[in-house]
């Protein structure tokens, strides 16, 4: 299909003690918002690492369209607590993703992009605040802004809302959904939060110990989800 961004072919990962992703086959269309769900240890982060090219599958492959080289991937990690005394301002932290990462040396187009992403992530007013003094939700928006600097075609969030309070969780996903709809960036979000996944995604991939389900999000039955640790 013309508008696919990636497809997996019989993907499998064999660790010493465990095999995950039993012959996983799914295809993701450009512009879609996919939530990957499933209980702890079922292989969600493993799949993300394979897509990012950090881990080689023991069997099968991931195909990118038109090619891996042509696709920019932005990655938003799981919430990490940043020390209160972390010295960089929000703006300087976001700018770390540019080649010339320190403010005085940013190229004009990088400065322009920085202003744009700060606005897109609602951080304009906070840009000169020390990142260490901002709230959890604001820090996570700064990670999102960093991932957006190079205008990714694919944005991957790996439990990016874990450890945020319910309001900040919803704000972050609402923002990502808005960017997804406005810019057409394809989104893969790993989450344990089924209600939020249902609220904001188009598709789901439910990984299970013995298999998987893939389809439109309205077909995800909450009863089929075997729990998984609920992060608050
Ligand atoms: N490098 C590795 N070597 C050996 N085992 C690994 C390695 N990476 C992951 N595993 C194991 O593979 C399984 C899947 O791990 P993964 O992190 O992908 O799960 P997950 O679905 O993301 O879990 P969670 O929801 O807890 O984050 C786990 O049992 C994990 O311990």
Assigned token pair, 16: 């010493």
Ligand 1 pocket test: pick from 17, 44, 228 the residue with the most ligand atoms within 8 Å of its Cβ.
44
How far apart (Å, rounded) are the C-alpha atoms in residues 105 and 34? 37
Closest CA to 158 of 47, 25, 32: 47
* Cα-to-centroid distance, 23 and ligand 1 (Å): 17
Assigned token pair, 56: 């080689």
Hey, how many other C-beta atoms are within 10 angstroms of the C-beta on 196?
20
pLDDT in tens, 39-81: 999 999 999 999 999 999 999 999 999 999 999 999 998 867 7
Q: Report the chain's mean pLDDT, rounded to a whole number.
A: 90
Tell me if the pTM is above 0.95. no
Left if phi > 0, otherwise alpha if psi is -120 to 50, otherwise beta: which for 186? beta
Q: Are strands 4-14 and 27-29 parallel, antiparallel or unpaired?
A: antiparallel
Helix axes 108-120, 136-148, angle to 10 degrees: 140
pLDDT in tens, 148-181: 999 999 999 999 888 889 999 999 999 999 999 9
List 156's β-bridge partners, or say none: 75, 188
Measured from the Cα of 159, ligand 1's closest atom is 27
What residue spans of the chain are helical by DSSP H? 44-52, 90-94, 108-120, 136-148, 166-183, 194-200
pLDDT in tens, 72-123: 999 998 867 778 888 899 999 999 888 655 666 788 888 999 999 999 999 9
Dihedral angle of Cα 182, 186, 190, 191, to the nearest 10 degrees: 30
Ligand 1 pocket test: pick from 12, 37, 39, 46 the residue with the most ligand atoms within 8 Å of its Cβ.
46
**Ligand 1 proximal residues by C-beta, below 6 Å:** 15-16, 18, 20, 38, 40-46, 228
Assigned token pair, 72: 């920019």
Closest CA to 91 of 114, 113, 72: 114
């Amino acid at each position: 299909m013309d508008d696919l961004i990636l497809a997996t072919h019989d993907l499998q990962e064999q660790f010493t003690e465990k095999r995950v992703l039993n012959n996983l086959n799914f295809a993701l269309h450009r512009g879609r918002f996919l939530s990957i769900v499933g209980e702890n240890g079922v292989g969600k982060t493993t799949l993300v690492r394979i897509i990012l090219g950090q881990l080689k599958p023991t069997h099968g492959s991931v195909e990118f369209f038109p090619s891996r080289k042509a696709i920019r991937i932005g990655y938003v990690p799981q919430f990490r607590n940043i020390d209160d005394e972390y010295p960089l301002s929000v703006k300087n932290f976001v700018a770390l993703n540019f080649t010339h990462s320190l403010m005085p040396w940013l190229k004009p187009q990088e400065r322009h992009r920085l202003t744009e992403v700060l606005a897109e992530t609602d951080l304009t007013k906070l840009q000169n605040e020390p990142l260490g003094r901002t709230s959890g939700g604001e820090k996570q928006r700064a990670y999102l802004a960093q991932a957006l600097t190079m205008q990714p075609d694919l944005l991957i969030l790996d439990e990016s809302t874990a450890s945020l309070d319910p309001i900040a969780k919803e704000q972050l996903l609402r923002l990502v959904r808005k960017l997804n709809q406005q810019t057409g960036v394809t989104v893969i979000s790993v989450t344990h939060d089924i209600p939020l996944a249902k609220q904001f995604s188009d598709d789901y991939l439910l990984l299970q110990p013995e298999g998987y389900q893939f389809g439109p999000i309205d077909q995800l039955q909450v009863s089929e989800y075997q729990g998984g640790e609920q992060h608050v």
